[in-house]
Amino acid sequence: MSDTISCELKISTELASRPFYKALSYTWGSLLPARQILVNGEPFTVRENLYQFLRTIHHEKPTFFFFIDQICIDQSNVQERNHQVNFMGQIYHEAIQVVAWLGPAADGSDEAMFWISRSQSHTSHYRRNDPVSLNYLFQRAYWKRIWILQEIMLA
């Protein structure tokens, strides 16, 4: 099995004619290190955080489309980038699901996710004795992005 991440970019000029898709909510992170993937068979550079997300879902072999701004919008074209910002609300609203990628597992995030799911299923609130891992999870860069309000609320 190849470790090369390969994606296919489908172009749709009308949101109404698009296939069902999921939208990714994530942080871009640092410019370096940069990673190479293949998009439509051509080398394409992505930032580390997106690479880690793609690597994670690559093993699941997704059968659906994702809207990922770093890939779907030509970031080197200022006119296109500015034009697409006008559609971001609609893009996230029309998605069948918005997937929030907080980053790879670290600092006890598996434990934190367990506590969150336990809290939701027992309708209890966080207590002072909840694990420190929750604190680490909620300090991640993802929660500092103003865009997550739009991306999550419009889902």
Mean pLDDT of 107-114: 86
State the pLDDT at residue 26: 95
Residues 28-61: pLDDT tens digits? Answer: 988 888 999 999 999 999 999 999 999 999 877 7
Predicted TM-score (pTM) of the model is: 0.82
Tell me, what's the pLDDT at 135?
87
DSSP letters, the chain, are -----EE-----S-GGGPPPEEEEE-----S-SEEEEEETTEEEEEEHHHHHHHHHHHTT---SEEE-HHHHS-TT-HHHHHHHHTTHHHHHHHSSEEEE---SS-TTHHHHHHHHHHHHHTTPPP-TTS-HHHHHHHTSGGGG-THHHHHHHT-
Give the pLDDT confidence of 52-106 residue by residue, as tens digits.
Answer: 999 999 877 767 889 999 999 999 999 999 998 888 888 899 899 999 999 988 8
- The per-residue pLDDT for 130 is 61
| Mean pLDDT in residue range 118-146 | 73
Residue 87 confidence (pLDDT): 87
In this prediction, residues 122-138 reach a mean pLDDT of 68
